[in-house]
Structure 1
Amino acid sequence: MTTLPPVPAGLADAIRRTLPRGRLAVSRPAGCPSLPLYLFDPRILEGPLSHDEAQAVVAEPAYWSFCWASGQVLAQWILDHPQVVAGRRVLDFGSGSGIVAVAAARAGAAEVIACDMDEDALAAAQANAALNGVRITPCSDWHRRPASLDLITAADVLYDKDNRPFLQAFRAAAGNVLLADSRVRDLEEPGYRVTGTVSATTWPDLNEFEEFNQVRLYRAGG
């Protein structure tokens, strides 16, 4: 019988700042089941999250405790195409739970930088990396990112239209970009091309609108 590792104390405290009765547990997102993560444990609730609870989770900084659809899809794509990241220096922008960063490290990246302005998210990403036996480098400020990047990954960052200018900043910083998004139906961004669409849901499921379960994958550069 496999013994699951305990939830790091700092993360347990962080989730309770958003939902006082909240807790975390190790689970495997349906869209990328080979990567276990410390995520929100829905078993504390009777049935799915209520609308108010779901809105609270979205509004508060504990977004890192859910694995969003685009992150799962991009992480699984990277695991299925390890040659894209192998030996490269990768920065994962808006890392959240860290699933994409962890996938890149598992796929053989030379270094993976998890970039997120939320310190709790960075702590979660590092804990999830350790859970999967890999290392990542935290970065709390895009403007202080390491130089000489080979590839930038980003998933579910376009929910805020103010993030749109980052798409060209990514290309300028690394040239090569992997993007996954379910919020913008038609990206129409110079230099980016659609490479596929995959259905996925947030894990645990937040019962989002069906349109947000269609994740589009984009690439820029080689």
Structure 2
Amino acid sequence: MTPEHLNQHLRKTLSRGRVAASAPAGCPDLPLYLFDPSVLEGPLSHDEAQAVVAEPAYWSFCWASGQVLASWILQHPELVAGKAVLDFGSGSGVVAVAAARAGAARAIACDIDPAALDAAAANARLNGVQVELCDDWAARPESLDLVTAADVLYDPDNRPLLEAFRAAASRVLLADSRVRDLGNPAYQLQTVIEARTWPDLNEFEEFNRVRIYLAEGAG
């Protein structure tokens, strides 16, 4: 998968859009193909930023929670080393790439957006690792050791995922900047870390505080 393939996806949302390799501030050891703001005159305007958020090109930004979770995995490789890891809602693929870099036996990027899976493949290649691609949670591989997810609870209807993740793997590692109280005691808060979306979308400050949770599987 090449950057030009990603450009074709991106231009469905932003006609002038293109990607460029850059290293997010929250995980500087992982270069990624992300939206290149230099194609615009100056930073994204409020309206442009809102359009980006409203349209499904999430994979072209590395969100704060994804950066923090990826960095946490690189700092704690024992969480993934030798294990089968699936990252749900992988977007740019940054967390799956981090898992592969940290020694996961299998690093699986799961996303329903074909463009996101293309981005995960391209970003894995950029980092010299391999990730597997999964386009359907229901068709995920069996015998998972760890499920990871970042900012997937923005919709209240997604709360049942918390138990679905626990049923699917031995452990769950979750990062979230949108929900202050998960309402599930199985998820134990590990830390709170500040980060900003890359490139910066000038989001509300509250969305720059990322909470990391760890839960044991229900099986």
TM-score normalized by structure 1? Answer: 0.95
**Alignment RMSD:** 1.2
* CA–CA separation in structure 2 for the residues paired with 1:109 and 1:213: 28
1:61 aligns with 56
Of residues 196-205 and 52-61 in structure 1, the stretch that sits farther from structure 2 once superposed is: 52-61
Q: Classify the secondary structure of the residue corresponding to 1:150.
A: strand
Contact 2:97 2:123 in 1 (8 A): yes
Does structure 1 residue 135 correspond to structure 2 residue 93? no
* CA–CA separation in structure 2 for the residues paired with 1:182 and 1:90: 22
2:203 aligns with 208
Aligned residues: 217
* CA–CA separation in structure 2 for the residues paired with 1:136 and 1:221: 24
Does structure 1 residue 110 correspond to structure 2 residue 105? yes
Q: 2:42 aligns with which of 47, 61, 65?
A: 47
* CA–CA separation in structure 1 for the residues paired with 2:154 and 2:53: 11
State the 1:93 CA deviation: 0.2
Of residues 29-38 and 7-16 in structure 1, the stretch that sits farther from structure 2 once superposed is: 7-16
Structure 1 gaps, min length 5: 1-5
Contact 2:187 2:215 in 1 (8 A): yes
* CA–CA separation in structure 1 for the residues paired with 2:42 and 2:207: 21
Does structure 1 residue 36 correspond to structure 2 residue 31? yes
Q: 1:80 aligns with which of 75, 79, 91?
A: 75
State the 1:7 CA deviation: 5.1
Contact 1:7 1:24 in 2 (8 A): no
* CA–CA separation in structure 1 for the residues paired with 2:185 and 2:163: 8
* CA–CA separation in structure 1 for the residues paired with 2:120 and 2:158: 21
TM-score normalized by structure 2? Answer: 0.97
1:156 aligns with 151
1:3 aligns with none
Identity of aligned residues (%): 72
* CA–CA separation in structure 2 for the residues paired with 1:80 and 1:47: 34
2:139 aligns with 144
Q: Classify the secondary structure of the residue corresponding to 2:12.
A: helix
* CA–CA separation in structure 2 for the residues paired with 1:68 and 1:219: 20
Q: Classify the secondary structure of the residue corresponding to 1:191.
A: coil
User: Which of structure 1's runs of 4+ aligned residues deviate more than 3 A?
Assistant: none
Contact 1:7 1:25 in 2 (8 A): no
Q: 1:91 aligns with which of 81, 86, 89?
A: 86
1:182 aligns with 177
Which string of whole-angstrom CA distances, capped at 9 and with x for unpartnered residues, describes residues 196-215 of structure 1?
00000000000000000000
* CA–CA separation in structure 2 for the residues paired with 1:81 and 1:116: 24
State the 1:87 CA deviation: 0.2
Contact 2:3 2:19 in 1 (8 A): no
Contact 1:86 1:108 in 2 (8 A): yes
| Alignment of structure 1 residues 164-175 onto 2, 5 Å | 164-175=159-170
Structure 2 gaps, min length 5: none
- Amino acid paired to 2:125: A
State the 1:9 CA deviation: 2.0
* CA–CA separation in structure 2 for the residues paired with 1:47 and 1:218: 37
2:114 aligns with 119
